[in-house]
Every structure is written in C-alpha cells, then in structure tokens.
C-alpha cells in the first residue's frame, strides 16, 4: 500500500484510491456536500482548492447563519463545518485541481500534488468577485471593504458607505444598504447607469442614495478600518479624497469554471448549468454553491445546495452499485459498507 501524508490534517492518504465521492472546493457548499456524502457511509474526499474555506473565510463576522444567534467569524464557521464533515469520515486534503477528465469513469483529477479518482463528483469551486485592484483593497477586505451587502450591511448601521458599480447588482445592493447605512453613495465610471429602468427609478427616488458620476476609485485609505477613498474623475483627471466608512464593490463575479471548459455546460455568464437537483450535463457530476448560483450567493443557500448535491450523489451511487467502473489502471474501489 502506497501512503502519502495529508498536508492539512496529518492523515495518511492511500494513493490510487477510487473514492465514492470527491468534492472540489472547501466553502459551505463543498463542506455540506461532503458531510452528507460521508454520513451516508460513502468514502468521501474533499479537495480544498487554493482558497481554503472559500469566500466566507475572508468574512470578519457572519451573523445571518441560522443557529448562531451571537454570530461568529467566517473562519470559525468553516472550522465547525469541516469538523462536522470529518466526524463522519470526510478526508480533507489541501490540493488545487489543475486538470479534470470527466469523459470516463472513474472521473480522473490531477492536482498540484497528486492524482485522484472518483465515482461521483461534486463541484463547489465558487465564484470570485471582480476586484478593483487598487491599493488598500486587499488590506481592508473584511475591515470596511465588502463584496456582499446582504452579508455585511448590518455592520454599517448609521454609517456612510459607497457602492462601486452601475449595474443591477450595484443598485440592488445599494438599495438594500439603505436599510442600515445613513448614506449610500453610488460611484460609477460613466454618466449613466447600466441597471434596468425600474431599479434606476427606485435608486433615484431613494433620499438616502447619492451619485458620483464619471469617477473611479484609485485607492482605499484607512487605519485599522476604512476611513476614505481616493477618487479620480474619468474626464478631467481631477483627484480628491472622499470620507467613508465602507466600500461595497459590485462590478460582477467570475465563476471558477475554467477547469471544466468544453466538458460541462455553462450559461452566458460562465456559471455551471444545473437542473432542479443540481445535476450537470455529465452523469455523476453535480454542482453546488456560487459556481452555479448567480442570484443568491449566501452561505446558507450555498450550504443547502451542497447538502442536496451530496444527497443526490448518494442516491445516484445507490442506483449504480453494480456498474463496473471503467478504469485506466487496476485500482480497487473503496466503497464503505453501510
């Protein structure tokens, strides 16, 4: 038996093992899928990807996840979810998948450190918010810079914030922020919005919302937390500092689906297309969380999608117990007895 050291938890991992279920991604959807799969006595491996814990691990405080009335940090929630999945046997492995072959079973994955085989696959690779790439953005993420008003708006009660963007998401989130913030200023690089007419009317009619036109953020300034942004007029080049308590950036998301190009169906925005039970167009492959959700993008909805995908993987495997895996090399299946 060839053994390899688990980089994350100090466990020994058997090489060339065919797992019942492999989950790619360690955010709430991936951890929930792994929990449900391993609790069903399926041999389950979770591959973390480069962002261990997903986007929520960058969140300072989570106060809208049911069951935690006092709130907790993103990393704390991820640790609890990981411990829960591991309690039922999920193996957590730090690795980033660089190649995936979904054309045959068992599915074959290549990572930075090893290769993996799976009878069923749950993809939870998430979506990354588009960033401004300006000084201070990374430094103050979670300390005044946010990409989710629903997640973080509550922390800006009676404060002044800016919203960067001019599309539907920017105005929707800006309007939502008026429930908490004293003032919301929308900063847009042009002199007209891309959002739909109905949303524009709601924003223009809201007395808490102001607009700064033809401007871009060139720097986010603060000490411990955000204190101001530096703005530049796109027409005149004039620069000035605008005091603010929070910066909400809504210039789009990029679903992390490059790995599966030409194998899985995606929509016009690059999100994986799934049916009502989160199945992709490849049998035995499900997708959960923000990689397949351009609408809600919440921890709780991602966790629910992951749970459903884990259940569906278990049901699908139950119906394929007698199917012989098409293997490239002689490898023994390790399905656990229930």
| Residues involved in catalysis | 148, 151-152
Q: Is 167 exposed, middle or buried (0-12, 13-18, 19+ CB in 10 A)?
A: middle
Separation CA 57–CA 78 (nearest Å)? 7
Which helix (DSSP H) or strand (DSSP E) does residue 99 occupy? strand 97-101
Separation CA 158–CA 208 (nearest Å)? 11
Q: 83: closest CA among 136, 24, 185, 8?
A: 8
SS3 282: coil
Contact 54, 28 (CB under 8 A): yes
Contact 121, 288 (CB under 8 A): no
Q: Name every residue whose Cβ is closer than 8 Å to that of residue 231 and which is 6 or more positions away in sequence.
A: 187, 212, 215, 216, 217, 218, 239, 240, 241, 242
Question: CA–CA distance from 128 to each of 12, 100, 132, 250, 318 (Å)?
Answer: 32, 20, 12, 11, 34
Count of CB atoms within 10 A of residue 65's CB?
Answer: 20
CA atoms within 13 A on the CB side of 58: 16
Contact 269, 291 (CB under 8 A): no
């Amino acid at each position: 038996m060839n053994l390899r050291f688990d980089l994350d938890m100090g466990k020994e991992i058997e090489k060339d093992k065919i797992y019942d279920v492999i989950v790619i991604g360690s955010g709430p959807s991936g951890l929930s899928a792994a929990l449900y799969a391993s609790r069903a006595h399926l041999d389950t491996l979770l591959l973390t990807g480069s962002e261990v814990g997903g986007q929520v691990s960058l969140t300072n405080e989570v106060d809208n996840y049911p069951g935690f009335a006092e709130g907790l940090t993103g990393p704390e929630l991820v640790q609890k979810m990981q411990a829960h999945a591991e309690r039922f046997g999920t193996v957590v492995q730090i690795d980033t998948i660089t190649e995936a072959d979904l054309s045959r079973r068992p599915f074959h994955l290549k990572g930075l450190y090893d290769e993996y085989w799976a009878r069923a696959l749950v993809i939870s690779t998430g979506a990354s918010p588009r960033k401004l790439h300006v000084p201070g953005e990374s430094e103050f993420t979670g300390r005044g810079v946010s990409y989710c008003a629903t997640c973080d708006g509550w922390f800006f009660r009676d404060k002044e914030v800016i919203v960067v963007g001019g599309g539907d998401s920017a105005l929707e989130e800006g309007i939502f922020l008026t429930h908490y913030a004293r003032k919301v200023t929308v900063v847009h690089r042009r002199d007209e919005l891309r959002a739909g007419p109905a949303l524009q009317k709601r924003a223009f009619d809201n007395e808490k919302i102001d607009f700064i036109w033809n401007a871009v953020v060139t720097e986010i300034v603060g000490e411990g937390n955000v204190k101001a942004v530096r703005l530049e007029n796109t027409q005149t080049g004039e620069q000035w500092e605008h005091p603010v308590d929070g910066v909400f950036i809504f210039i789009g998301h990029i679903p992390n689906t490059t790995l599966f190009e030409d194998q899985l169906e995606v929509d016009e925005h690059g999100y994986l297309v799934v049916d009502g039970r989160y199945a992709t167009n490849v049998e035995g492959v499900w997708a959960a969380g923000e990689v397949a959700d351009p609408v809600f993008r919440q921890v709780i909805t991602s966790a629910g999608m992951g749970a459903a995908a884990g259940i569906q993987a278990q049901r699908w495997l139950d119906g394929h117990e007698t199917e012989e895996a098409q293997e490239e090399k002689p490898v023994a299946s390790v399905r656990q007895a229930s």
